[in-house]
Amino acid sequence: MNKNIVIIVGAIIIIAAIAIALNYKNSNLKPVVNSFEECVAAGYPVMESYPRKCQKFIEDIGNVNEKADLIRINSPRPNDLVKSPLVIKGEARGNWFFEASFPIKIFDANGKQLGIAVAQAKSDWMTANFVPYEAALEFEAPVTAKGILVLEKDNPSGLPQNADQLTIPVYFSK
């Protein structure tokens, strides 16, 4: 009888050890992530910097930091949820404009242009200082969830060395 009890207790201990080992192994499995968005969705911590960071992934904010001394956008902000008509507001140096305006385009994630508008200066644009601008952009329904807003420096010369643009990633609302 003692031999049977020892065998049963031993079997229970082995089964419990296997169950604990399997549970430990499964609890340490983390989902594989390949982008900032997937990292956030998987529940990893997000560093509250600008741009935000999650693991080794950095949030795509376009080139707003690189162009901040030339053009700034107040609305929409990078990765905002947008819908048509979209009101765009910000400020740009006077040389970003030509005849008080510059073009704004919106594209889906496949690169298809969905709409175009013209931003208008809200004050005297013939200055090296920042000038407020505003535009209303109507666009067709996208087939992708993500897109890009492009604010182009007006370039009447057409010369590549005079071209510039601000790019802002956006999400489309359904």
Using one digit for the tens of pLDDT, what is the confidence trace for 57-73?
999 999 999 999 999 99
**What is the rounded distance in angstroms from the CA atom of residue 173 to the CA atom of residue 165?**
24
Using one digit for the tens of pLDDT, what is the confidence trace for 17-70?
787 776 665 555 667 889 999 999 999 999 988 899 999 999 999 999 999 999
Q: What is the CATH number of domain 61-172?
A: 2.60.40
Q: What is the pTM of this model?
A: 0.79
Domain ranges of the chain: 2-57, 61-172
Q: Tokens 């997937």 label which residue? A: 38
